[in-house]
């Protein structure tokens, strides 16, 4: 049985300056709080944390990790609080213990292949410090070693989870011996019959097997000696689980699995690795397709070795791994080796970018001065840009950090997204803006009355949700515009005794649409509704000039008095652009900013700086690198164009009232257009020159006071929404 002193000895062997007192204190603390607890085996509970710490010494981990190994179950299984751990052992150890407690609280439900991958990622996303995972692996390893005390049902569950989640994690972190042992242990409980059968068959041949291994080893050593290479050779039986996989994958039985012995040659330099390979291949016939160069092209978990298989003595297939001591250390300790491993090695870009974070860790480590700094940097999220949540059914979904219920809702279906009113997270109702945290169980709440709001665009994180929300608005506005456009057009056409439906049937409007480069008649009519196109522009394409002019004269008579054209002063100088002088300034046609609006500048190619209002939809998605800060210069006075849409009754004298209201507020009218509808309503569009936002507000207030006016709105031109 492992004693505490053994742990101290092992720690001293690889880190003589470690804080042994801290570890002693952790031991005493753990012994005290676990005092009367026993494991299922009937042994004192303390054996478990001791063994876990013991496994961690094999990974040569630091004192904080070993202490955490001793304390890892205190918060979960005793009355100890995290605060007590923090008071007694400091923040670092408290955070490690907290990480372990959190992992043990998520239930890893599904065992489906793709789900297992997500669970593994979720674990990685949840811990802020990679040591938490290493300690968790040690914990799981000891639990697997003592699994026999559980009920068969529990054994199966834990073994499956180990095979799905923890063995692959050990593999990803490059800790080969933990991976191997976890797999064999799990396999033993999942398929006890097959496990025993393979074990029995191996045992039967054991004597003959070990004689064979000795013989091959002697041959190896002799050859190394002849070639003046200093090295170690070990031979072993292959792992039971990998023999099983081979039998299963190739549909063969045990007697047909020939390469059940594996050898490992460890030498000093990379050159010697290739030398040894040459020696082996000239000694025994290599099996085609079995040579793999993981030195030239290392695996994502930074594993390096040469692998080959040959037809050895007596025609038996053997597998051989060749590596340096350094590579061996990495294969055994995995990620743990890296913060002690000082020489930066260039690793090739693997095609599989999936776990680049591991390589990233190595990159960081190269620039960092000491281990503590490295560990500090690893504490930053392992998956900094993703969160993992559960659906009510227990599936795991991946989202970008900051994602909200709306993102989730749109990932299911647009209909669910459009009607999302919130969510239940871990049973509690949360608002739409709630940001997911890894491990949350999320259920979306919908209501048939809900519809998307422009506000949503400000906080959703997934491109899918953004696109779908914009699409919804685009469709809605378009429908409205088409309805409005139809009404306006119909009414105007009637003045010339024309009918819209007939024009459409005759293909006339389609022709006009093509002439204005619209996709079709609907787009043309929508443009009238949006105010982008006037009915007169359309009529100009359909009717002879004289008929139009007649009519136009009448129209003009109505409007003439309203319009005073003025020469515009250049408003350019009214803006101060930070850090830039003498640039060309344009005001964006989509939002027509005026002084007082919050504005932002965008550097355009060859056209200087374009000024938008900050809430302009075209700006929100634009490249932030091209943004410049701009401010209004309040000392100067200029005028700016704005467009107002006025909804009113179609009533005599109203136009005159509008125009006098506008001029009494000292604004110039530069253009106006009035459309009337069948039900005695009028929609007028006025282009004005105003000084600033306050001036505009005054003008609008003035208009709203007029009887018969229903609504006044500042128009912003909708540009093609990108999808
Ligand atoms: Mn434990």
pLDDT tens digits for 116-159?
Answer: 666 666 666 566 677 888 899 999 999 999 999 999 999 998 99
* 49 Cα to the center of ligand 1, angstroms: 7
Give residue 163's pLDDT.
87
* 175 Cα to the center of ligand 1, angstroms: 19
Give residue 344's pLDDT.
28
Helix 176-190 / helix 152-161 crossing angle, nearest 10 deg: 150
Q: What are phi and psi of 493, to 5 degrees?
A: -60, -35
Query: Can you read off the two tokens belonging to residue 194?
Result: 């097959």
* 71 Cα to the center of ligand 1, angstroms: 9
Give residue 175's pLDDT.
83
Place 572 in a pLDDT band, splitting at 50, 70 and 90. Answer: very low
In this structure, the chain runs to a length of 723
Can you give the pTM of this predicted structure? Answer: 0.53
| Per-residue CA distances from 539 to 224, 497, 543, 544, 557 (Å) | 96, 12, 6, 9, 19
Active-site annotation holds for 77:
yes
Active-site annotation holds for 98:
no
Give residue 639's pLDDT.
74
* 146 Cα to the center of ligand 1, angstroms: 11
pLDDT in tens, 503-535: 787 788 888 888 888 888 888 888 887 777 777
pLDDT in tens, 449-475: 888 988 899 999 888 898 889 888 888
8 A C-beta contact, residue 586 and residue 608: yes
Q: Which of 6, 77, 332, 398 is catalytic?
A: 77
* 51 Cα to the center of ligand 1, angstroms: 10
* 43 Cα to the center of ligand 1, angstroms: 14
Q: Give the whole-angstrom CA distance, residue 84 versus residue 180.
A: 37
**Percent of the chain whose predicted confidence (pLDDT) is above 70:** 79
| Out of 49-53, 497-501, 542-546, least confident range | 542-546
Tokens 């709306």 correspond to what residue? 406
* 173 Cα to the center of ligand 1, angstroms: 20
Q: Which of 6, 51, 73, 76 is catalytic?
A: 76
Helix 176-190 / helix 240-249 crossing angle, nearest 10 deg: 70
Give residue 140's pLDDT.
95
Q: What are phi and psi of 115, to 5 degrees?
A: -70, -40
Query: Can you read off the two tokens belonging to residue 598?
Result: 């919050």
Q: What is the DSSP code (8-state) at residue 531?
A: T
| Out of 11-25, 50-64, 625-639, least confident range | 625-639
Whether pLDDT at 108 is above 60: no
* 384 Cα to the center of ligand 1, angstroms: 27
More confident residue, 9 or 668: 9
Count of alpha carbons within 13 Å of 270, Cβ hemisphere only? 7
Give residue 114's pLDDT.
55
Give residue 553's pLDDT.
62
* 5 Cα to the center of ligand 1, angstroms: 20
Q: What mean pLDDT comes out for the span 369-382?
A: 42
Q: What mean pLDDT comes out for the span 550-558?
A: 57
| Out of 411-420, 604-613, 663-672, least confident range | 604-613
Whether pLDDT at 84 is above 80: yes
Q: Give the whole-angstrom CA distance, residue 360 versus residue 352.
A: 14
pLDDT in tens, 154-199: 999 899 889 888 888 787 777 888 999 999 999 999 999 999 988 8
* 244 Cα to the center of ligand 1, angstroms: 29
On average, the pLDDT of the chain sits at 79
Give residue 717's pLDDT.
57
* 139 Cα to the center of ligand 1, angstroms: 5
* 388 Cα to the center of ligand 1, angstroms: 24
* 341 Cα to the center of ligand 1, angstroms: 29
Whether pLDDT at 551 is above 80: no
Give residue 674's pLDDT.
78
Q: Give the whole-angstrom CA distance, residue 286 versus residue 278.
A: 10
pLDDT in tens, 240-272: 898 898 888 888 887 777 667 889 999 999 999
Whether pLDDT at 570 is above 80: no
Q: Give the whole-angstrom CA distance, residue 400 versus residue 412.
A: 16
Pairing of strands 231-237, 285-286: unpaired
Give residue 723's pLDDT.
33
């Amino acid at each position: 049985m492992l004693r505490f002193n053994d742990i101290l000895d092992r720690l001293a062997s690889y880190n003589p300056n470690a804080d042994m007192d801290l570890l002693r204190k952790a031991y005493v603390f753990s012994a005290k709080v676990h005092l009367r607890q026993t494991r299922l085996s009937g042994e004192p509970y303390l054996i478990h944390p001791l063994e876990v710490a013991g496994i961690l010494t094999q990974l040569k981990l630091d004192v904080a990790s070993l202490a955490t190994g001793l304390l890892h179950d205190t918060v979960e299984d005793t009355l100890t609080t995290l605060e007590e751990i923090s008071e007694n052992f400091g923040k670092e150890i408290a955070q490690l213990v907290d990480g372990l407690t959190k992992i043990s609280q998520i239930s890893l439900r599904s065992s489906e292949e793709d789900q297992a991958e997500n669970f593994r990622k979720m674990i990685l996303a949840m811990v802020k410090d990679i040591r938490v995972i290493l300690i968790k692996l040690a914990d799981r390893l000891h639990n697997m070693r003592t699994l026999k005390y559980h009920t068969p049902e529990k054994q199966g569950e834990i073994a499956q989870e180990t095979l799905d989640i923890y063995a692959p994690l050990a593999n990803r972190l490059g800790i080969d011996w933990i991976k191997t042992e976890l797999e064999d242990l799990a396999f033993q409980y999942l398929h006890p019959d097959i496990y025993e059968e393979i074990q029995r068959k191996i045992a039967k041949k054991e004597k003959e097997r070990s004689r064979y291994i000795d013989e091959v080893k002697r041959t190896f050593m002799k050859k190394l000696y002849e070639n003046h290479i200093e090295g170690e050779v070990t031979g072993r039986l292959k792992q039971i689980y990998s023999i099983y996989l081979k039998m299963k994958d190739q549909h063969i039985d045990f007697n047909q699995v020939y390469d059940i012995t594996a050898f490992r040659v460890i030498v000093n330099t990379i050159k010697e690795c290739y030398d040894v390979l040459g020696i082996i291949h000239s000694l025994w016939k290599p099996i085609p397709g079995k040579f793999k160069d993981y030195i030239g092209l290392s695996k994502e978990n930074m594993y390096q070795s040469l692998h080959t298989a040959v037809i050895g003595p007596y025609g038996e297939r053997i597998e051989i791994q060749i590596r340096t001591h350094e590579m061996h250390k990495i294969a055994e300790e995995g990620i743990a080796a890296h913060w002690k491993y000082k020489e930066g090695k260039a690793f090739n870009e693997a095609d599989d970018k999936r776990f680049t974070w591991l390589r990233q860790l190595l990159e960081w480590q190269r620039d960092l001065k000491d281990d503590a700094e490295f560990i500090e940097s690893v504490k930053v999220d392992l998956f900094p840009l993703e969160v993992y949540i559960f659906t009510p059914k227990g599936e795991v979904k991946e989202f970008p950090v900051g994602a909200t219920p709306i993102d989730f809702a749109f990932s299911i279906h647009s209909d669910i997204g459009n009607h999302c009113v919130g969510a239940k997270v871990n049973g509690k109702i949360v608002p739409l803006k709630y940001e997911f945290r890894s491990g949350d169980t999320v259920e979306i709440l919908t209501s048939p009355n809900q519809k998307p709001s422009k506000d949503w665009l400000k906080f959703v994180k997934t491109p899918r949700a953004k696109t779908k929300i914009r699409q919804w608005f685009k469709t809605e506005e378009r429908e409205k515009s088409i309805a409005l456009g139809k009404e306006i057009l119909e009414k105007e056409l009637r003045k010339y005794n024309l009918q819209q439906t007939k024009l459409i049937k005759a293909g006339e409007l389609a022709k006009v649409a093509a002439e204005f480069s619209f996709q079709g008649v609907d787009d043309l009519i929508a443009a009238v509704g949006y105010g982008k196109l006037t009915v007169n522009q359309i009529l100009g394409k359909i009717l002879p000039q004289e008929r139009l002019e007649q009519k136009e004269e009448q129209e003009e008579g109505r409007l003439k008095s309203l319009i005073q054209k003025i020469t515009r002063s250049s408003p350019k100088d009214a803006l101060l652009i930070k850090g830039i002088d003498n640039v060309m300034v344009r005001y964006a046609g989509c939002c027509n900013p005026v002084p007082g609006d919050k504005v932002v500048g965008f550097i355009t190619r060859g056209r200087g700086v374009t000024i938008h209002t900050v809430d302009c939809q075209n700006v929100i998605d634009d490249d932030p690198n091209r943004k410049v800060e701009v401010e209004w210069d309040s000392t100067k006075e200029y005028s700016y164009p704005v467009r107002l849409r006025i909804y009113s009754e179609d009533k005599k004298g109203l136009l005159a009232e509008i125009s006098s209201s506008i001029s009494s507020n000292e604004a110039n009218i530069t253009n106006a257009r009035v459309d009337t509808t069948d039900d005695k309503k009028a929609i007028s569009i006025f282009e004005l020159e105003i000084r600033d936002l306050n001036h505009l507000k005054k003008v609008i207030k003035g208009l709203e006071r007029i009887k018969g006016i229903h609504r006044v709105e500042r128009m912003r031109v909708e540009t093609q929404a990108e999808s």
